[in-house]
Amino acid sequence: MAAQIIFIIILAAAVYLFAKNAGRVRRNILLGKPEDRSDQLAKRFMVMLKVAFGQSKMGKRPLAAVMHFFIYVGFIIINLEVLEIMIDGVFGSHRIFAAPLGSLYGLLIGGFEILAILVLVACLVFLARRNVIRLKRFTGVEMTTWPRSDANYILITEIILMTAFLTMNAADHKLQLLHYGHYIETGKFPISRLLSPLLPEGPATLVITERVCWWLHIAGILSFLNYLPYSKHFHILLAFPNTYYSKLQPKGEFDNMPVVTNEVKAMLDPSFMPENIPASRFGAKDVTDLTWKNLMDAYTCTECGRCTSVCPANITGKLLSPRKIMMDTRDRITEVGNNIDKFGKDHTDNKSLLDDYISREELWACTTCNACTEACPVNIDPLNIITQMRRYITMEEAQAPASLNNAFSNIENNGAPWKYSSAERLQWLDE
Amino acid sequence: MENQNNSEIENPKSEILHVPTMSQMVAEGKQPEILFWVGCAGSFDRRAQKITRNICKILQHVGISFAVLGTEESCTGDPAKRAGNEFLFQMQAMTNIQVLDGYGVKKIVTGCPHCFNTIKNEYPGLGGNYEVIHHSQLIQQLIDEGKLKTEGGQSFKGKRITYHDACYLGRGNDIYEAPRRALELLDAELVEMKRCKTNGLCCGAGGAQMFKEPEPGTKDINIERVEEAAATNAQVIASACPFCMTMLTDGVKQIQKHIEVLDIAELTAKANGL
C-alpha cells in the first residue's frame, strides 16, 4: 500500500512538473509573431506522417537512420510496457496484462526485449560516434560543453533504462522458474534469460533486484520526461507538430512581407487604401520579431548538425552554421522567457539575437541554397530566420554590405544589379 | 524559321537572330506564344549573352513565336529580396507585373533559375500570375514532343558530362530531371558528382552573394565545387544558371583544369548545329 501511495505521488509530481515546464516552452514559442499555418490540413497531416512518423528524411545517412530507427521504435513500442508499469504501480498489481493477453503477452515481452537490446546497441554506437570516433558533424563552435553533455546524458539514460528493464525481466524470469510467490510464468524472455547466470540465486535477493529495477525503470522514465523541456531531446515530441506546420511552398519561395506590399502599393498608386496591418519593425532583430514557427523550429532542433555539414558556407570555413542559428534562437528565447518569469513582461535586458548571439558575418555568409532545410529531418528552416535578420539589417539599419548597397542602387536606377543602362539591354543581339 | 537552310547549318555564325520585342509585336498587332525573360546576367554578362542567343536559336529552330521585353525588362528583384531589401524587391516586382500585364503576357520562359523562381513563386502573391518555365524545362518539353532532336550538329557521343544542379531549380523548385533529360539526348556519358540533386552543392553565388565578396573563410565555394566536378573526370560541366556559369568558369580557371563549362541551352544548340 505504501508503495502504491509513493508511486502515485511520484507520478503526479512528474506529470505536474512536466506540464508546467512544457507549458513554459509553449508560452515562449507563442512570444513569436503570428503566422497562419492552419491551411491545407490533409497535406500537413501527410507531411507529418511521412517526415516525423515515417522518418523519411533520415534515410540520407543510412547507418544513423537504422540506429535512430531502433531507438525510435523502441521508444514508441516499449511505451506499451510503461503503460503496464503505470497500472501495476497504481493498483499494486504485478504484470497485469499477463493474464488477459495469455500467450500473446510472452511474445510482446519478447519483442520488447529484442527492441531493448537494439536500443542499447544503438545508444552505444551513438556514444562511440560522439566520444570515440568524434564525428565532425558533432563538433563545431556551437557544440560547447552543455550540448555535448546533453547528448551524452540522453544516451546514458537510455542505456540505464534499457539495462534496468532487461535486468528486471531477468530477475522476474528467474523467479518465475522458481514458481516463487506471484511470479507466474509469462513467457520465454529471449534476451533477459541470458542475464540469469549473472543474478543471485536466492529468491529474496531476486525479488529485491526485480523491485529495484522496476523502480529504477519507471523513476528513470519520469525523470527523463522532466528532462525533455530542458534538452535537445524535446524533439521526440515537437517533431510531430513541427513537421505538421512545415512550409508547404516550394523551398525557393520567400514570403512577401504584407506590410511592405501596403507601402509599395500606396507609393505606386495614391488612391490605394492600405490594408490594416499592425506596424512592427521590418525584419528581425530579436527573437520576439521572429514568428512562432521559427521559435518552434528552435525548440525542435536536436542539434544533429546535418544542416551545418551540408552548408556550403560552413564547409568552406565561413562562420555561418545553420545549427548555431537554431541553437542561438532557442537559447535567446529561453533567456527572454526566463526574464519575463523573473522581472515581468516589460523587462528589457538590452540584448538581442542579432549581435549578442548571431553575428552579421554569419548572416551574410548564407547563399540561400536551401541545403540546410533539405537536410533537416524535422523540416526546420534556418534560412527563414537568416532572411528575416537580413531584412532588419538592410531595411531598418541600412547596414547591408557596401557592395550590396551598390547593387541596390543599380537596381533602383537602371533596373539591373550591375551598372549597365537599360538602353543596352538588347546588346546581346549584336554580338 | 522552322526550316533551316543548309548554308546556315554549315556555318552557324551566319545565322541572324530575329528577336522581336513585345512592343514591336504589339505594334504589328501580334501576340507571341511565349515571352523570353532574358534576365540581367543574360542581357549584360558577356558569357551569359551567349546562352541567351542559344536559347533564342532553339526557340527559332522549333518555330515557337516569342518576344523579349528588351529595354522594358528590369531586374526581377531577386538579389534585393535575398539580401533583405523587401522594399526594392516589391517595387521591382510590381513595376514588372505592370509591364507584363500591359502586354497581356501569359507564358514566360526564363534563362535564369533566379528569375524563374521569383516570377513563378513570388509574383503571384503581388498580383502577377503567369505560366513560368525555365529554359531547361522548355527544352525537355520540346524533346518529349519530338520537336527537338540531336541532329546536324556536334556529336557528344562518349563525352563525359556532369551536371551541376542550380539551387533555385533543384532544391528550390524540385527540377532535377529536365536538365538531365536534355543531356541524355546528347548520347554522352552522364556522370554525377558526389553531391548532386537534392544534395547538390551551391556554386556560391546565390542569396545575392553574386554581388558581394564572400565572407572570410578557408576556401571559395566555387573551388570546392569545381574540384568535385574535376574528380568525376568530366570533360564538360553542364549548368543551367548564368550565376553558376560565372562561378564554375572562374573556378575551373583557378584550379587550371581543362573542363568546359556549358549551359544546357548551348549543348542543345551545338548538338543541333544551331
pLDDT, tens digit (0-9, with 9 covering 90-100), for A167-200: 999 999 999 999 999 998 888 899 999 999 999 9
Distance CA A295, CA A230 (A): 15
CB contact under 8 A, B84 and A395: yes
The 8-class DSSP code of residue B163 comes to E
Query: Least CB-CB distance to B125: which of A256, A283, A393?
Result: A256
Cell numbers linked to B222: 566555387
B contacts of A393 (beta carbons < 8 Å): 84
Considering the domain B150-271 in this protein, what is its CATH number? 3.40.50
Relative to beta strand B107-110, strand B160-163 is unpaired
Distance CA B159, CA B156 (A): 5
Minimal Cα distance from A257: which residue of B? Answer: B86
- Report the 10 Å Cβ neighbour count for A398: 10
pLDDT by position in tens, chain A (length 431): 789 999 999 999 999 999 999 999 999 999 999 999 999 999 999 999 999 999 999 999 999 999 999 999 998 888 888 899 999 999 999 999 999 998 999 999 999 999 999 999 999 999 999 999 999 999 999 999 999 999 999 999 999 999 999 999 999 999 999 999 999 888 889 999 999 999 999 999 999 999 999 999 999 999 999 999 999 999 999 999 999 999 999 999 999 999 999 999 998 888 888 777 777 899 999 999 999 999 999 999 999 999 999 999 999 999 999 999 999 999 999 999 999 999 998 888 999 999 999 999 999 999 999 999 999 999 999 999 999 999 999 999 999 999 999 999 999 999 999 999 999 999 999 86
Whether the CB-CB separation of A289 and A281 falls below 8 Å is answered with yes
A contacts of B53 (beta carbons < 8 Å): 428-429, 431
Q: How many residues does chain A have?
A: 431
Distance CA A246, CA A384 (A): 12
Instruction: Assess whether the region B6-139 and the region B150-271 belong to the same CATH fold.
Output: yes
The 8-class DSSP code of residue A141 comes to T
B contacts of A282 (beta carbons < 8 Å): 86
Q: Is B182 left (phi over 0), alpha (psi -120 to 50) or beta?
A: alpha
Closest CA to B118 of B140, B103, B97, B139: B97
ipTM: 0.93
CB contact under 8 A, A415 and B126: no
Minimal Cα distance from A414: which residue of B? Answer: B74
Cell numbers linked to A331: 537559447
Rounded to a whole number of angstroms, the CA Rg of chain B reads 18
Cell numbers linked to A173: 524470469
Distance CA A263, CA A276 (A): 11
Closest-CA distance, A308 to chain B, in angstroms, reads 13
CB contact under 8 A, A418 and B91: no
Closest-CA distance, B65 to chain A, in angstroms, reads 17
Minimal Cα distance from B46: which residue of A? Answer: A428
Distance CA A254, CA A245 (A): 16
Looking at the DSSP assignment, which residues form a beta bridge with residue B67?
Answer: B35
Considering the domain A271-413 in this protein, what is its CATH number? 1.10.1060
Domain B6-139 has CATH 3.40.50.1860: yes
Query: Read out DSSP for A291-343?
Result: BHHHHHHHHH-----HHHHH-HHHHTT-S--HHHHHHHHHHHHHHHHHHHHHH
B contacts of A313 (beta carbons < 8 Å): 215, 217, 221
Q: For chain B, what are the domain ranges?
A: 6-139, 150-271
Which residue ranges in chain B fall short of pLDDT 70? 1-15
Q: For chain A, what are the domain ranges?
A: 2-30+61-244, 271-413
CB contact under 8 A, A426 and B81: no
Cell numbers linked to A187: 513467457
A contacts of B90 (beta carbons < 8 Å): 256-257, 260-261, 264
Distance CA B9, CA B222 (A): 36
In A22-140, the DSSP E strands lie at none
Angstrom distances, CA of residue A8 to CA of A12, A19, A183, A218, A227: 6, 16, 23, 12, 20
**Res B15: pLDDT:** 62
- Give Cα A224 to chain centroid, integer Å: 15
CB contact under 8 A, A418 and B199: no
Closest-CA distance, A314 to chain B, in angstroms, reads 8
Closest CA to B56 of B74, B75, B35, B77: B35
A-B contacts (CB, under 8 Å): 224
**Res B17: pLDDT:** 86
